[in-house]
Amino acid sequence: MAAGNLQCRGFMLKFLGLYLLTYLQYYSQIAEARIRHYKWDVKYEYKSPDCYKKLVITINGRTPGPTIVAQQNDTIIVEVKNSLITENLAIHWHGIRQRETPWSDGTEGVTQCPILPGETFKYQFKVDRPGTYLYHAHYGMQRTAGLYGLIRVSVPDGDSEPFAYDYDRSIILNDWYHNSTYEQATGLSSTNFVWVGEPQSLLIHGKGKFNCSSTVASSPSWVCNESNPECSPYVITVIPGKTYRLRIASLTALSALSFEIEGHNMTVVEADGHNVEPFVVKNLYIYSGETYSVLIKADQAPSRNYWMTTNVVSRIPKTSAGLAILNYYPNHPRRSPPTVPPTGPIWNDTEPRLAQSQAIKSHQSYIHSPPPTSDRVIVFLNTQNTIDGYRRWSVNNVSFNLPHTPYLVALKLNLHHVFEQTRPRTGYDFKNYDIYRKHNNSNATSSNAIYRLHFNATVDIILQNANTMNDNDSETHPWHLHGHDFWVLGHGKGKFDIYKDPRQYNLVNPIMKNTVPLHPYGWTALRFKADNPGVWAFHCHIESHFYMGMGVVFEEGIERVGNLPSSIMGCGDTRGLGRP
C-alpha cells in the first residue's frame, strides 16, 4: 500500500511539474509578445523626392513612411489620423494575413469603409510570422502619391534564422509620377482614354534624380532643382568584410524592375516572409508587391564607393535608372563612384526573369508541403477590353468594380442586395482562344460578383496571360492575394494545358508567397488553403491595372468571422451603423 501511495505521489509530482513547465512556457511567450503602438498623421505636403517639387502623401512628414519594427507574435496598433482634408483613406498591411482580424486588412470596399477626412481610425493586428512585409494606401490610386512603407518582423529572442549576417538594412524601390493621382485616374476613367504613361523617375528608398532640363517648358528652379539635398542619392554605409542583409521591396505603380549592386553578387535568402533555398544573382528581378532579403558581403576594394542601380524591365524603358550609393567606410558617403553605373539587363529578355521565378524554392529546413491535390481549379485569363466605350482590364472577360458597401460587412449582415449574386466565370474558351492575337472580346462586361469558396478547401488558381489591345504585346502582371500565402506550383510559357501542365507542378519544395509575377504570354499556377475566415482581394498589383478592373474577391468562412467593429462601417448601406 505504501509503495502504491509513493507511486501515485510520484505521478502527481511529475504531472504538476509538466503542468508548471507548460504554464511557464505559455506565459513566457505572452510576456515576450509586445504591443507596438504607432500614431500616424497622414497629410499632403510639398516634397521633392526626385528634385521635382509636387504634393505627396506623407506619414508624420515622411515618405516612405516610418518602418514598423516588431518581433513574431507582437500586436501592432496603428492609429491613423486622416489629415488629407479632401480625400478618404485606407491603409493595407501587405503580407500580413490578418487571422481573426479581417476588418484590419485595410482594403476599402472589401474589408472597410474608407477613413473620412479628419477621422482617426485604429488598425490592430498580430504579426505572426517573421519576414519582410509592406504597407501602402488602398484607396483609389493613393499609393502612387507616396503613402507606403516597410514592416520588418524578426524571429523571437533565442530563435535563429538559417542564414547569418552582421547588419540589417532596407531598400524600397518605387517609380514616380509628376502628375497627381487625380489626373491619372481621370485619364483612365475617360472614354477618351489617356494612359498614365511611363514614370518620370525611379526612386531608391524615396530618392531619385529627375533631369530638370528635360522638361518641354523649363520649370523655375523652385519647382525643379537638381541640387536640392532632399533628392540626394540614398546611401547605405558598409564596413569592409562585413555581411549585410538587404531587405529589398518594390512598391512600383507600374514598372517591373531589376536591381543590381556594382561589383557585388547577391544571395537570395527570403521571399515574401519565407526562407528560400539560397541562390546567387547579379540582377534581382522584382515586381510590385514583392519583398526579398539578399545577403551581400562588403568584399570589394574599400578605397571607393559603388553604385546601386534599378532599371525598368518588361516595358520599353523611357525612365532613367534609379541610382543609390553603397558607401564603403571610411569613404565620404556622398563621394560618387568613379565608374559609369551598370546598364542593367536587356528590358525585353523574358528568359532570365522566368528563370529566376522558377529558381525560387523553399529552404530545405522550412518546407511546408502543399496538399497533393486541390478541391477546386479556377482559371483566370488576363485581358484588356473595351466595355461601354471605356478601356478596362478584365479577368475571364469580366472587369471588376468595387461596391459602395464593403463585402465583409455586407456578407456578415446579409446585405446581399448591395452586390451582384451571379456566379463569376471560372475559366475561358481554352480550345478556341488564341492568346497571341489581339481580340475584340465583345462579350466583356463589368461586375462586382465574388467567388464563394468552401471553408478549408484547397484551391488552385491558374493565371493565364494573353495579348493586350495592342498587336504583339503582353504585359507582366504581379498578382497579390490578401489574407493568405500560396504555394507557387509553377510558371510556364504559352497557353496552360490543364491536362498536361499540372504534371510539371512542384509539389516537393515550392516557395510560398503572397505576390507572384505572371510573365508575358505565359502562365503561373498557385495553390492555397481557404482557411482564413473573411473576404479577401486578389488583384494585379499594378496600380492602374487594378483601378481599371483587374482583380477578384474571395469569400471563405464568413460565418466564422467574429463581431465586426463599428469603425469599419458608415458608408453605402451601412450608413448609420458605424461611425457618426
CATH (domain of 473): 2.60.40.420
Same domain, 218 and 337: yes
Range of the domain at 389: 367-574
Q: What is the pLDDT of residue 18?
A: 45
pLDDT over threshold 50, residue 143 = yes
Q: How far apart are CA 308 and CA 333, in angstroms?
A: 13
Residues 400 and 314 in one domain: no
User: What's residue 74's pLDDT?
Assistant: 98
**Per-residue pLDDT averaged across 517-545, rounded?**
98
Residue pair 287/488 in contact by the 8 Å Cβ criterion: no
pLDDT for 15 equals 43
Question: Is there a single domain that holds both residue 210 and residue 291?
Answer: yes
Question: Does any domain span residue 135?
Answer: yes
Q: How many domains does the chain have?
A: 3
Residues 191 and 120 in one domain: no
User: Does 7 reside within a domain?
Assistant: no
Contact between 519 and 466 (Cβ < 8 Å)? no
- Classify residue 53: in a domain, yes or no: yes
Grid cell 519565407 is found at: 274
Name the amino acid, one letter, at 242. K
Q: Supply 168's cell numbers.
A: 540589417
Going by C-alpha positions, the residue among 252, 322, 315, 314 that lies closest to residue 543 is 252
| Residues β-bridged to residue 542 | none
Q: Do 123 and 87 have their domain in common?
A: yes
Decide if 487 contacts 370 (C-beta within 8 A): yes
The pLDDT score that the predictor gives to residue 213 is 87
- Looking at the structure, tell me whether residues 149 and 202 fall in a common domain: no
- Name beta bridge partners: 493: 522
Backbone angles phi, psi at 270, to 5 degrees: -145, 145
Residues 74 and 57 grouped into a single domain = yes
Residues 317 and 174 placed together within one structural domain of the fold: yes
Q: Specify the residue for cell string 504554464.
A: 23
- Mean pLDDT score, 369-377: 97
Residue-level pLDDT at 578: 58
Residue 442: the pLDDT is 85
CB 477 within 8 A of CB 542: yes
Instruction: Express each pLDDT in 189-208 by its tens digit.
Output: 999 999 999 999 999 999 99
Pairing, β 120-127 against β 74-82: antiparallel
Q: Which domain-ending residue is among 337, 357, 377?
A: 357
339, 357, 375 - which closes a domain? 357
| Confidence band, pLDDT 50/70/90 cuts, at residue 579 | low
Inter-residue contact 389 to 472 (CB < 8 Å): no
Residues 408 and 551 placed together within one structural domain of the fold: yes
Domain contains 26? no
420 and 550 housed in the same domain: yes
Alpha carbons 474 and 480: distance in angstroms, whole number: 19
Mark whether 136 and 266 lie in a shared domain.
no
Flag whether 338 is in a domain.
Answer: yes
Same domain assignment for residues 147 and 292: no
